[in-house]
Every structure is written in structure tokens, then in C-alpha cells.
Amino acid sequence: MNLIRTKGLIILLSLALLSVLTLVLFSASISKMILQSQLSSLNGAEVNINEAAVAFNPLVIKLDKIQVTNNENPLENSLEISKAVLEVDTRSLLRGRFIVNELQLDNIQFATQRMQAGAVFVEEDQTQEEKTPETDAGNGFMGASSLTMPDMDELINKTGLDTENAFKAVNEKAKQTKVSWADIESRVSDKNKWDGYSSRYNTVKTNIKSGSAKEKLQALKDFKDLKNEVSDELREIKKDKDKLKKDSDELNILYAQAKKMPGKDLQKIKSSISLNSGGVANISRLLFSEEITGYIESARNVYKKIAPYVAADEASEEQIVRGQGRYVEFKDNDPQPGFLIKKAGFTARLPAGKFDGKARYIAFDQKINNKPAEIKLSGKDLIHSKSEIMSAVLDLRDKKAPRFAVNYDIDQRNIRQYEVSAGTSLPLVMETAMLDMRSKASLQSGKLSADVDARFKKVKFDSTKDPSDKSFSSLVTAAMLNISEFNINAELKGTLNKPDIKIDSDIDNKINKQLSASFAKIRKDYEDQLALKIKNKYAADIDSIEQSVAGLDDLKRSINTKQTDITEKLNKYKK
Amino acid sequence: MISSFAKIIRLMSSDIEPAQLSLGICLGFVLGLSPAISIQALLAVVLLIILRANLSVLMLSAGLISIIAYLLDPLLLQLGSAVLSVAELNSLFSWMYNNSFWYLLRFNNTLNMGSLVISLAAFIPLFLLSNFLIKRYRVAIEKHWKSSRLFQYISQSKLLGKLTAVAERVS
């Protein structure tokens, strides 16, 4: 009895040979099929590979044109890769592990259009997520929405001006003085009286010279009387002069005081109203918090995609399914995770320019190889900046405390026509600027910590604000237009969903300085106008008083002349 | 059911070598007991191709045993787990675990191991037993059975003839 079936042996060998030939000849198609399936499953949406080629020993898979459908927009690729080359560890593959020793991705592009819509397998989570709350834009900026200076006339009328009373007093004094001056003037200027004295003097002189003894005696007596009368007159004139001087001094004092009153009243008015700008607070927070909120939202979207892999594995009791058994683990001489990319290089063409990147140890089960995933992306001589470097580390070795850290540095990025604020109260565009930025962020066990240091140089702001607008916001806008460089430092703490954002910038101080200068000018103009108004109010009184003073001076001169004249005559009489 | 019974009777009575029938029974036993991807299943398929094992008997045997195997699942799992836990075999199993070929054959699965152990242990005894029983049937029972009135009645029965014809057409 021959139990061995020769035909069977031949069939078996043929089958084996056929399997090997199929594997060799159709490995590319099989690889393409498997990779498309696996990547689609991972992505939750269709992934297409144009062509695949496989080389053995070492196992190298080359893929042409990989298109990864965007879950949210099936007509768009979230990612498109022109060429991918993977060197796969064959031994690990036989053990059910996909270990890529080296991966090269060329010409990665984002958001490219698809010819046909890709299938989406996993619905996006439609549950309402807690939105990133609006960051507090800060207070104290637009509190004074308009800068209205008090009406001057109303202010003057409302405030009791001491100038008025002072000038009233001066006028009263001037009136009184004028009356007494009139008496003095009439006495001093009485020509008949003085002519009488001269005539009596001449008669006395004649009688003394050529008169009889009796006439001479009479003349002497008359002369004595005349001399006494003239002396009395002189004494009166002196008295009058003294009185005049006293009145004149008093009037001058009152006038001097009255002249000072407008200035004092101006100070009084100024102290009764507040003419300070008050300054601005947190303008940087107002202008830039929205931008920062946008970055946080982007970070949340990225984190949402990797969160399923970051989530800690829940310990679950192993369920033994009937007909499937349980796997017993033995000591692995070369422990490796189920999926690992040891080393990767890639080039990406972004709207900003060409970027080169490197990555290491990309795996989601990092406990086995005990190395965190690292990615570094850098671009030089880009369209808008000199260089940009991004490096990230994803450490999942301890799944209870996963850590995600990102550093992002920008050197000399040119900013053009960046709309800083679109609001009607402060429309502001950064026309040009040069930005240097250093930022780092880390998310560990759900706790966020981030620091951004941005330096803006050669800044030119522009605004559509009407320059004739005298509002407070207009002043702020004008102040900003004078700023040519500033720094911003932002700190974020808390969680990704509820970050506490703190923004500091020297732009607040710069604006406040500018505002102070602008406001000082406005205040000075206002005060000058107010002073002029007060002065003009009492101009007529001042003229009148000055005329009176001038008249007084004339009278003084006239009295002095008269006094001199009489004294000469008296001296002549004495001779 | 009737066609299977008829087939068994025909095979037992045929000129097919008992060894071939026995081999079919044993290989069917192995295939029915084991998961699809396992060492013993792979070996059984190879032996099926290169040896002259009777396919009909194999399929009958595999079908019957798979029903019993479902009921024996817990026992197989316990047995596999026990074997894989033997300290003396740990180094061997570690070597096999690190070897891609054995790893692919999933030897470290408790169900696989349990069914492998039973298959290995039962293969030769089952082969010998089947062989003995088939020979005995042919020698002792078949002759007596064919001379019995019941056999005469059944073999001459038109109903049985029709049923057999129908069964043959169906198979």
C-alpha cells in the first residue's frame, strides 16, 4: 500500500511555488492594498496610494502620491505626499510588528484638492465641546469713549471768579480817588488864587521899596501874612501830595492784586475739573488676545487628533473568548512596540516656503522602546521670514502623565497688512513689521504651560480713523501710529480648554507716554484759551484802571511842578 | 444525515485501504479540534495533500469533532495554559516565541497548544484503533450484516434505493 500521493506532493510544491511567486510578483499590489486599508482605518477617512513598489532584502516599500482625505472636507486632502520610501524591518513584520527603520517623505503638502471626494468612515465627534472662552480683553481702555473738554463760558460763569470782585474794588477805589483828585486839582490849578498871591507880592514889594513908612509897615505886615498864607498853601499841597501818594499806592496795590486774580481764577478753574488722560491699560491684551486665542484653538484641534493615542489605557480584565484562547507572553529578546518609526526625514512645501523635517521614535506605545517621539521642522529663506524652526516632543512613556512639548521660533518674519483690530473704535492695521518670536509650550497631564516672547521691529501702523475725531480712541490710534517697535510677552497656564492668559507688553507704556504728551498739549491749549477768555472778560476794566493810573501820574507831575514853583516864589519872598 | 450514514456504510464496505480511512479519521480529528491557524492544522493540510487520506472520511470526522471541540473548549484552554506554564519548557517556548516562524503559528495561544497536545497524543492511538475497527468490521460484522434479513430488506428496498440515489446526486 502506497500512502504517499505523488500528485499531492507535486500539487503541494506547486502551491508553495505559486505562493512565493504571487508574493514576489504581486507584493506591490498587496502592500498597496494593506497600507491603504490600514491607513484609512487609522485616518478615519479614505487614503489613496497611486503606486507602490517593493524591494526585498532589505524590505523597502516605495509609494507614489499618497492622498489622505480630510475627515471634515472629503473634497480636500488633509495631507498629500508625493513620494514615500519605507525601509521595514522584515523580522518584526513576521512577528506582527510594523517597524520602520527609516522613512523618507518627499514634498508634503497640506489642504490640496482631490479629484473625487474621499470616503469618510468615522463621523467627527458632534458633541458640543467646551469652546475656548473669550479671553478677557481687559478694562480701562474705552471707558472714556469721547474726550469732551468742558465748555469754557459755562465753566467761567459757574465758577465764582475773584477777578471780578478785585476789579470792582479797584474801580471803586479809582472812583473815590478821582473825586479827591478833582479837589486837589482844582486847588492846585486855581490861577486866580495864585495870580492874587503874585499881585499882593508885587504890591508889597512896591510899597516896601517906595512907599511911606506907614505903607512900608503895612507892606511888611502884608508880606508876613502873604508868606504865612503861601506857607499854609504849601503845607496843604504837601498834605494833598501825601494823600495822593497814599491813594496812588493803595490803587496800585489793588490793581496789582487785581491783575493777579485772573491767574488765580484760572488755577481755581483748573483744579475744579480733571484734565488727565487716565492712561490706557491692557491695550496689548485688547489687540492681540484674539490672535493668541486663535493659536490656542489650533493647538486644541491638533491635540484632539492625537488625544486618542495619548489617552491612558484603561486596565481591563482580559476576556477569554470561546474559540480564540489566550496568548501567553514569553521573554522577548528584542521588545518593540507594535508600530514604530525609528527615523524619518521629510520635506514639506507650505505656502510659506520649503521646510525640512526630521522625526525619531514615532510610536504610541513608548513604554517598550522607552523613547519619546521627537519631531523637528525647519525652514530657511522662506517667503516671509528668514527662518522658522519648530520642534516637538511627545512623551507617552507614562500614559498617566503624558507630555507634549512644542518650541516654535521665528526669525525676521515680514508682516504685511496685518489687521490688528477691525473695530470701529480702534481700526488698526500693522502695515509692515519685522517679527522675531520665541515660544514654548507644554501640556502635561492636562496642564498647560506656555510662554511666548515676540519682538516687533520696524513697525508701521495705519488706521482709517478720522484724524479730526477728537475722541479718546482717536488719541490712542494717533499714539499707536508713532510706535516703531514693541515687545509682547504672553504666558498661558491652566488647561487647554480653559487657559489663563496673561499678556504683557511695553506697548502700553509707549502709548501712555504718547498719550500723556498729546494730552498735555491739549490741556495747554485749553488752558491758554481759558486764560485768554478770562483776560478778555476784564479787558475793559483793565483799560479803565490804567487810564486812571495814567491820569493820576499826570496830576502828580502837575502838583510837583506847582509845588516847585510856589517854593521858589516863597524863597524869593523871603529874600 | 442519511447520505452521511449511507456514505459511511459504503466506505466501510468498499475496497479502500483501512489505513487510508484511518488516516482520514485522524486528520479530520486534528482539523476539527484545532483553530484554523495552528501548527497542527497546517501539518494536517500538508499531510492531507501528500498522503492518500480519504477526503470524505476526513470531512465527516472533522465535522463531528468540531462540534465536540466546541464543548471541550474550556478543557483545551486549561490544558494549553498548563503546558505553556511548565517551567522546564520555558526556555524552549522563549526560543519559539522569538522565532518568527513559530510565532506566526501562534504556538503561545492556549487553545492552539491544548488542541496540539490532544492531537499529538491521540493521533497514533486513534489511527491504530480506527484501523483495527475497520478491519474487524469488514471481517466480522460486514459478513454477518449482509446476511441479515434487515440488510436484505434495506438493500432491496426501493425507498432506500431512491434515497441513496438522491443522496448521491446531492453529494
Q: What is the pLDDT of residue A214?
A: 87
Q: What is the pLDDT of residue A575?
A: 62
Interface test with B, best of A13, A15, A88, A326 (most B CBs within 10 A): A326
**Residues of chain B neighbouring A322 (CB-CB closer than 8 A):** 70, 73
Q: In which band, very low, low, confident or very high, does the pLDDT at A297 lie, cut at 50, 70 and 90?
A: confident
Tabulate helix, strand, coil % of chain A (nearest 5). Answer: 45, 30, 25
Q: Choose between A118 and A298: higher pLDDT.
A: A118
Q: What is the pLDDT of residue A283?
A: 66
Q: What is the pLDDT of residue A80?
A: 94
Q: What is the pLDDT of residue A564?
A: 83
Judge: A330–B90 Cβ closer than 8 Å, yes or no. yes
Tell whether the model's pLDDT for residue A257 goes beyond 80: yes
Q: Tens of pLDDT along A348-369?
A: 988 888 999 999 999 878 888 8
Candidate from A5, A327, A332 with C-beta closest to B52: A5
For residue B69, report the phi and psi dihedrals to the nearest 5 degrees.
-60, -35
Q: Does B112 touch chain A (CB under 8 A)?
A: yes
The pLDDT of A282-310, averaged and rounded, is: 68
Q: In which band, very low, low, confident or very high, does the pLDDT at A180 lie, cut at 50, 70 and 90?
A: confident
Interface of B with A in 38-67 (CB under 8 A): 46, 48-52
How many alpha carbons fall within 13 Å on the CB side of residue A162?
Answer: 14
**Residue A15 C-alpha, separation from nearest chain B C-alpha, in angstroms:** 11
What's the whole-number average pLDDT of chain A?
A: 81
In what helix (H) or strand (E) does residue B94 lie, and over which residues does it extend? helix B90-98
Q: What is the pLDDT of residue A373?
A: 92
Candidate from B19, B85, B104 with C-beta closest to A1: B19
Tell whether the model's pLDDT for residue A130 goes beyond 60: no
- What residue has cell string 496540539? B116
Candidate from A1, A5, A320 with C-beta closest to B77: A320
DSSP summary character for residue A428: E
Q: What is the pLDDT of residue A132?
A: 44
Judge: A12–B85 Cβ closer than 8 Å, yes or no. no
Identify whether the C-beta of residue A449 lies closer than 8 Å to the C-beta of residue A479.
no
The pLDDT of A6-18, averaged and rounded, is: 86
Judge: B51–A4 Cβ closer than 8 Å, yes or no. yes
Whole-number Å distance between alpha carbons of A164 and A173: 14
Q: Tens of pLDDT along B5-64?
A: 666 666 666 667 888 889 999 999 999 988 887 888 888 888 888 888 888 888 888 988
Task: List all residues 6 or more positions away from A496 whose beta carbon is below 8 Å from its beta carbon.
Answer: A296, A299, A300, A303, A443, A446, A448
Range with the poorest average pLDDT among A37-51, A295-309, B41-55, B96-110: A295-309
* Range ranked top by mean pLDDT from A64-73, A283-292, B54-63: A64-73
What proportion of chain A, given as a percentage, has pLDDT over 90?
22
**Residues of chain A neighbouring B90 (CB-CB closer than 8 A):** 330
- Residues, chain A, total? 575
Q: What is the pLDDT of residue B12?
A: 66
Q: Choose between A379 and A504: higher pLDDT.
A: A379
Tell whether the model's pLDDT for residue A127 goes beyond 60: no
Q: What is the pLDDT of residue A134?
A: 43
**Residue B131 C-alpha, separation from nearest chain A C-alpha, in angstroms:** 14
Q: In which band, very low, low, confident or very high, does the pLDDT at A128 lie, cut at 50, 70 and 90?
A: very low
β-sheet bridge partners, residue A505:
A488
Q: What is the pLDDT of residue A238?
A: 81
**Residues of chain B neighbouring A91 (CB-CB closer than 8 A):** 100
Cα angle B144-B150-B155, degrees, rounded to a multiple of 5: 95
Judge: A3–B109 Cβ closer than 8 Å, yes or no. no
Interface test with B, best of A19, A88, A330, A336 (most B CBs within 10 A): A330
**Residue A10 C-alpha, separation from nearest chain B C-alpha, in angstroms:** 8
Q: In which band, very low, low, confident or very high, does the pLDDT at A207 lie, cut at 50, 70 and 90?
A: confident
Candidate from B46, B84, B90 with C-beta closest to A12: B46
Whole-number Å distance between alpha carbons of A528 and A522: 10
Burial class (CB in 10 A: 0-12, 13-18, 19+), A319: exposed
Judge: B19–A332 Cβ closer than 8 Å, yes or no. no
Q: What is the pTM of this model?
A: 0.62
Task: List all residues 6 or more positions away from A421 whose beta carbon is below 8 Å from its beta carbon.
Answer: A286, A287, A427, A428
Q: What is the pLDDT of residue A210?
A: 84
Q: In which band, very low, low, confident or very high, does the pLDDT at A145 lie, cut at 50, 70 and 90?
A: very low
Q: Tens of pLDDT along B73-86?
A: 889 999 999 999 99
Q: In which band, very low, low, confident or very high, does the pLDDT at A224 lie, cut at 50, 70 and 90?
A: confident
Q: What is the pLDDT of residue A227?
A: 84
- What residue has cell string 503624558? A402
Judge: A3–B84 Cβ closer than 8 Å, yes or no. no
